[in-house]
């Protein structure tokens, strides 16, 4: 395996050349070098860096590191500087004409010119310490003029730094007659400046996937950039808070799909619109006439047949009932054991479409984040957040146990995931579960099964198949 020594010029108290915009050369050479190391490793090279942070390393120490580690090649990365703003070529330096260094320099220079589109300064001879005191073929690309305002601006962009690193890596691959492979795969493409072998790779990917820390529009993450106080506040709020934008967005889309259900027999519960034609899923006990007796029977572990009112009332703050906020409708189908029922507002014949919640296809896993939403104690649109703490399966139904607090009026409401999909129908207390302080929902899987049974029984229309 070939070993490439990479030397990011300057560092620490030695800023190198300084651009008119205040850019330090040492701050351009390091990111290019780190990206180059990542790219070379992805192409099967070993790499040695003379510095990996903003630290001062003397020239003798640098060549010492490269010589002692027996590198096969050395690349010392610098930017050019001039007293005049105009020079704008790009050039690669070697100690003398001929030999392996010149071969390498020609390949590297060719790709640098192609990438930048800048004037080709060619391969030049320069008596620099890094190409003179190194035991292996060594080249020193001067990546344009930091003193040229245009080039300074271009060099500052992490995207361009990545391009430069890629150009040098391509040159090295050409030198060895190897094909350069750009690291691929979903993970590598997530941020072009975060490669798989970075020590923090897994942490960065995890935070990015959870949208706790995000990248920049140019596709970079800038892993070494310090965090500002406001970024920290935003990240912490995303972890601990319920006020982040995504969350608010989900809630906004869910709320109109959750309605309050009232009947004369007892108080209030919730229901979830699951089909654009207005079909609403809720708990069976929510639409029963004898809810209080049913509760007593549950406590004593007795059976009690539920009685149903002919019509139940449905209320929404979002005027989802053809522009109104109240409608009446019949219970179409129910199952006392699964504690599920379907009701439908009875309105005029029309093409009116309701906002409907999608029923999730896969069962949620343990620890998946969920939101319980309903109208507890008559407060429409109350929201509680938690995680799935257990999935309890039995032959007839699957219950999801959740940390999200489910209050009386939440019964029949939605347990949704962070995509806004229905993962369960909330039940305040469940049949046969005599433990206080636990919250349950009937899983989406059971909801689908229940709806299919309703269709098979001829109580629910065939068109509901489309939501299963």
Q: Which residues are the active-site residues?
A: 142
Question: Which has the closest alpha carbon to 306: 325, 291, 328?
Answer: 291
Nearer to Zn ion, 78 or 315 (CB): 78
**What tokens appear for 57 in the block?**
């390393």
Whole-number minimum distance, CB 250 to Zn ion, in Å? 51
Nearer to Zn ion, 144 or 364 (CB): 144
Whole-number minimum distance, CB 27 to Zn ion, in Å? 12
**Binding marks (x or -) toward Zn ion, 32..71, rule CB under 5 A?**
----------------------------------------
In sequence order, the β-bridge partners of residue 74 are: 5, 138
Work out which of 16, 141, 144, 413 binds Zn ion, going by CB under 5 A: 16
Question: Which has the closest alpha carbon to 1: 32, 33, 50, 40?
Answer: 40
Total residues interacting with Zn ion, rule: CB under 5 A: 3
Nearer to Zn ion, 16 or 329 (CB): 16
Work out which of 5, 8, 9, 364 binds Zn ion, going by CB under 5 A: 9
Q: What residue number has its CB nearest to Zn ion?
A: 78
75-134 positions binding Zn ion, by CB under 5 A: 78
Contact (CB, 8 A) for 91 and 142: yes
- CB contact set of 319 (below 8 Å; sequence gap of 6+): 325
Whole-number minimum distance, CB 1 to Zn ion, in Å? 29
Cα–Cα distance measured from residue 102 to residue 235, given in angstroms and rounded to the nearest whole number = 49
Which helix (H) or strand (E) segment holds residue 62: the answer is helix 59-68
Whole-number minimum distance, CB 81 to Zn ion, in Å? 7
Cα–Cα distance measured from residue 77 to residue 136, given in angstroms and rounded to the nearest whole number = 16
Is 192 one of the binding residues for Zn ion (CB under 5 A)? no
Is 141 one of the binding residues for Zn ion (CB under 5 A)? no
**What tokens appear for 120 in the block?**
């080709």
Cα–Cα distance measured from residue 194 to residue 174, given in angstroms and rounded to the nearest whole number = 24
Q: Which residue stretch of 74-82, 111-119, 176-184, 359-367 sits at the interface with Zn ion (rule: CB under 5 A)? A: 74-82
Q: Which residue stretch of 10-18, 169-177, 296-304, 406-414 sits at the interface with Zn ion (rule: CB under 5 A)? A: 10-18
Strand order, beta sheet including 340-343 = 326-329, 312-315, 258-263, 266-273, 280-282, 340-343, 331-335
Whole-number minimum distance, CB 95 to Zn ion, in Å? 16
User: Which chain residues interact with Zn ion by CB under 5 A?
Assistant: 9, 16, 78
């Amino acid at each position: 395996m070939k070993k490439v020594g990479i030397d990011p010029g300057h560092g620490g108290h030695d800023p190198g050349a300084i651009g008119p915009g205040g850019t330090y050369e040492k701050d351009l050479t390091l990111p290019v070098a780190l990206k180059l190391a990542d790219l070379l490793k992805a192409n099967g090279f070993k790499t040695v860096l003379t510095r990996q942070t903003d630290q001062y390393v003397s020239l003798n120490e640098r060549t010492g590191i490269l010589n002692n580690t027996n590198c096969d090649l050395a690349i010392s990365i610098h930017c050019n500087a001039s007293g005049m703003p105009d020079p704008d070529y790009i050039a690669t330096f070697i100690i003398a004409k001929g030999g392996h260094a010149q071969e390498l320099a020609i390949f590297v220079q060719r790709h640098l010119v192609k990438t930048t589109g800048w004037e080709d300064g060619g391969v030049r001879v320069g008596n620099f310490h890094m190409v003179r005191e190194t035991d292996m073929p060594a080249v020193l690309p001067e990546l344009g003029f930091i003193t040229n305002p245009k080039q300074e601006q271009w060099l500052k962009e992490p995207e361009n730094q990545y391009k430069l690193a890629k150009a040098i890596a391509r040159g090295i691959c050409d030198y060895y007659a190897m094909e350069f492979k750009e690291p691929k795969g979903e993970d590598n493409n997530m941020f072009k400046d975060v490669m798989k072998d970075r020590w923090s790779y897994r942490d960065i990917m995890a935070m990015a996937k959870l949208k706790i820390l995000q990248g920049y529009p140019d596709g970079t993450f800038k892993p070494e950039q310090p965090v500002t106080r406001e970024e920290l506040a935003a990240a912490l709020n995303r972890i601990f808070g319920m006020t982040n934008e995504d969350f608010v967005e989900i809630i906004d889309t869910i709320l109109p799909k959750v309605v309050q259900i009232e009947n004369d027999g007892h108080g209030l519960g919730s229901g979830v619109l699951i089909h654009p034609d207005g079909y609403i899923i809720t708990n069976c006990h929510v639409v029963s006439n004898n809810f209080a007796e049913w509760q007593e029977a549950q406590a004593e572990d007795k059976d009690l047949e539920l009685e149903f009112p002919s019509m139940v009332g449905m209320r929404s703050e979002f005027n989802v009932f053809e522009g109104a906020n109240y409608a009446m409708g019949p219970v179409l189908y129910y199952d006392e054991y699964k504690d599920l029922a379907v009701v439908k507002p009875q309105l005029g014949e029309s093409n009116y479409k309701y906002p409907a919640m999608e029923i999730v296809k896969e069962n949620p896993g343990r620890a998946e984040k969920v939101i319980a939403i309903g109208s507890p104690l008559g407060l429409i649109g109350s929201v509680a957040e938690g995680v799935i703490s257990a999935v309890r399966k039995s032959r007839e139904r699957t219950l999801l146990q959740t940390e999200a607090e489910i209050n009386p009026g939440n019964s029949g409401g939605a347990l949704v995931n962070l995509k806004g999909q229905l993962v369960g129908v909330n039940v305040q207390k469940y049949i046969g579960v005599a433990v206080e302080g636990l919250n349950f929902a009937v899983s989406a899987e059971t909801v689908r099964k229940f709806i299919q049974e309703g269709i098979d029984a001829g109580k629910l229309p065939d068109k509901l198949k489309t939501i299963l």
